[in-house]
Chain A
Amino acid sequence: MIINERIGAALFFSVIAAAAYSGETSIKLAGGEQARLVQLRCSTCHSLDYIVMNSPFLSRAPWDAEVRKMIKIMGAPIPENEVAPIVDYLTQHYGAN
């Protein structure tokens, strides 16, 4: 199936990029140390401005749905026991009032 298709030799894929987007180091999440788990888990795949940009209009249920989408659909390796702390953090600092 095309979804799982790998592009042949991948010869031109040598470089990539996390370092190319150096601007993202300027993003500071709220809550100091409380942000560490979110930084660790979410920044594997995307910059943390995705969180700030999507605030403050999601309540706990939609934040929970976003985190579970990242696990179930996007394949984020987040253990179940970390889901609640992550959702708590997002709701507290970036949730709907």
Chain B
Amino acid sequence: MRMVAGGIALADGALIGRSAWADLPQGTLDSEVRDTLPGKQPLIKRSFRPPNYESPVEFFEDLVTPNDRFFVRWHVANIPRVDARSWRLDVGGDAAPRGFEIGLDELKRDFEAVELVAVCQCAGNRRGWSVPHVAGVEWGTGAMGNARWKGARLKDILARAGLKKDAVEIAFNGADRAPLEATPAFVKSLPAWKAMDENTLVAYEMNGAALPHWNGFPARIVVPGWTATYWMKQVVSIRALSQPLAGFWMNTAYRIPKGKFPIIDRFTSQESETSTPITEVLVNSLMTNLGGGRRFAADQPIEIKGIAWDAGYGIRAVEISVDDGRTWQSAKLGESLGKYSFRSWQFTSPPRAAGRLSIMARASNAQGTSQPSELIFNAAGYHNNVVQNVAIDIV
């Protein structure tokens, strides 16, 4: 089979991924602009209202994503400016008999503070490269970020509320509102076991500062290893439920076909015959210094830099191919900031002759799972972790 990626005709039988920078939908390219939300650096605007903005690839040369460079994703358009003094977190539900309400100062004072670095990645990151294209926010590579989160353990908060053994799920609501009363509120739940994980937080700091408004000030749920749909921003309500949460955002949205992805974490109380809620992020990588039509000198070594991440099993290897996937060589992994963090890597290729070169990166994790060479298609465009293939010019 002869295929074209990134403008290069590849050899027969070569293992390739889809071109990474070349084939977002034309309308996506036509409507994208660099735009600056208050308090943010210019990001790539996908939609103004609700605001959906992604980070350009070069921002990921920093292993930890600065707050003003962190992506922005909202489902409904009315996003209040929350006043920290009047904000209240309401904890309760039918499986938590000792419900209570607290303010921000109490949240910080009454519960042990935990810090961890974790990737927050939208379930639909890279949807724009789905083949065929599917409807939704047509994200490129930047609907994700890596931050140091500080907050209270959700399990400690639930313990104070007297969480009962029959709790099946823990549900979260935020302060955002749709313009129409009839629109389903963006409400999400986690299985109780994941909510009780010692790394699941109600975070009030991000990279040593208060959360930016656009990232959920004053507090958001942080679910290391799981996709960002569960990381409720501007959280105002936590409910322990003895029955599964119903509603559009659980029963219809953010679901994947059963059995199609190499997933370990399951959300059994929400599974149907054919589909399941999306849970953990898949092993993935990104080349961070090849964007923007970058050129390399023919007589110089080619340095390729990037990041890799997974759901917290641990990145085991990143391999690079500069010959359309025929041979692979190991990149050098950088220091670890924790199992839920981006891991940096670096690879230096010997000098190459002038011309076009296709570069591929493939991460593997401690579960022995690698990025696939063919996209695992699903109708909502989630979980795109196909090996990328980036063309560079050697001049």
Q: Which residues of A are interface residues toward B (Cβ below 8 A)?
A: 1-5, 7-8, 11-18, 20-21, 23-24, 26-27, 44-47, 49-58, 62, 66, 73-77, 94
Contact = CB atoms under 8 A, between A and B. Distances in A.
B109 interface: no
Contacts, number: 135
A21 to B, nearest CB: 4
Nearest to B85: A12
Nearest to B81: A15
Given A3-B247, A21-B77, A24-B49, 4 more contacts: A18-B77, A45-B77, A49-B31, A53-B47
Interface in B130-163: 132-133, 135-138
Interface in B46-60: 46-51
Nearest to A55: B27
B246 interface: yes
A66 B86 CA distance: 38
A7 B49 contact: no
Interface of B: 25-28, 30-33, 35, 38, 45-51, 76-83, 86-88, 90, 132-133, 135-138, 171, 173, 175, 177-185, 187, 236-237, 239, 241, 245-248, 252
A48 B132 CA distance: 23
B27 A3 contact: no
Contacts of B177: 13, 16
Nearest to B239: A2
Nearest to A49: B31
Given A12-B86, A44-B180, A55 B26 contact: yes
A58 B175 CA distance: 33
Nearest to B245: A2
Question: A interface, by DSSP: helix, strand, loop or mixed?
Answer: loop
B135 A58 contact: yes
Interface centre among A14, A54, A62, A76 (most CB of B within 10 A): A54
Contact of B80 (A12, A21, A27, A44): A12
A53 B175 contact: no
A11 B47 CA distance: 28
